Amino acid sequence: MARQGLFGSSLIKKYWMALTGLFLISFLVVHAAVNAMIYFNDGGVTFNKWAHFMGTNLIIRTMEIVLFLGLILHVVDGIILTRQNRAARPTRYAYSQPNANSKWYSRSMAILGILILLFLIVHLWHFWVPSRHIVGSLEPYGVDAAGQDNLFALMQLVFSNPVPVVIYVLGCFALFWHLLHGFKSAFQSLGLNHRRYNGLIAGVGTAFSIIVPVLFASMPVSMYLGLVK
Partner 1 sequence: MKLTLKIWRQAGPDAKGAMVDYPIDGISEDMSFLEMLDVLNDKLIREGQDPVAFDHDCREGICGMCSLYINGRPHGPERHITTCQLHMRKFKDGDTIYVEPWRSAAFPVIKDLAVDRGAFDRIQAAGGFVSVNTMGNLVDANALPVPKAHSDKAFDAAACIGCGACVAACPNGSAMLFVSAKVSQYALLPQGRPEAKERALNMVEQMDAEGFGNCTNIGACSIECPKDISLENIARLNREYLVAEMTKES
Please give the residue ranges that form the binding site for partner 1 (CB under 8 A): 1-3, 8-15, 17, 81, 84-85, 87-98, 100-103, 106-107, 109, 181, 184-185, 188-193, 195
Closest to partner 1 by CB, 89 or 121? 89
For partner 1, the closer of residues 17 and 165 by Cβ is 17
Residues 6 or more apart in contact with residue 38 via CB below 8 angstroms:
44, 47, 152, 155, 219, 222, 223, 228
Q: Which is nearer to partner 1, 100 or 135 (CB)?
A: 100
The Cα–Cα gap between 172 and 152 comes to 20
Least distance (Å) between residue 189 CB and partner 1: 6
Specify burial of residue 220 (Cβ count, 10 A radius: 0-12, 13-18, 19+): buried
Query: Residue 120 CB, nearest distance to partner 1 (Å)?
Result: 21
CA angle, 34 then 168 then 229, to 5°: 55
Give the residue with the Cβ less far from partner 1, 59 or 99: 99
User: By C-beta, is 15 or 141 nearer to partner 1?
Assistant: 15
Long-range contacts at 163-168 (CB < 8 A, ≥ 24 apart): 164/122, 164/126, 164/220, 165/220, 165/221, 165/223, 165/224, 167/119, 167/122, 168/119, 168/123, 168/216, 168/217, 168/219, 168/220
Whose Cβ is closer to partner 1: residue 25's or residue 36's? 25
| Residue 106 beta carbon to partner 1: minimum distance, rounded to whole angstroms | 4
| Cβ–Cβ under 8 Å, residues 153 and 126 | no
Rounded to a whole number of angstroms, the minimum distance from the CB of residue 9 to partner 1 is 5
Provide the β-strand partners of residue 149. Answer: 143
CB of 117 to partner 1, least distance (A): 17
Q: At its nearest, how many Å lie between partner 1 and the CB of residue 217?
A: 26
**Residues in CB range of 141: below 8 A, 6 or more apart:** 149, 150, 151, 153, 154, 157
Q: CA-to-CA distance for 149 and 111, rounded, in angstroms?
A: 37
Could you tell me the smallest distance in angstroms from the CB atom of residue 86 to partner 1?
A: 8
Nearer to partner 1, 8 or 147 (CB): 8
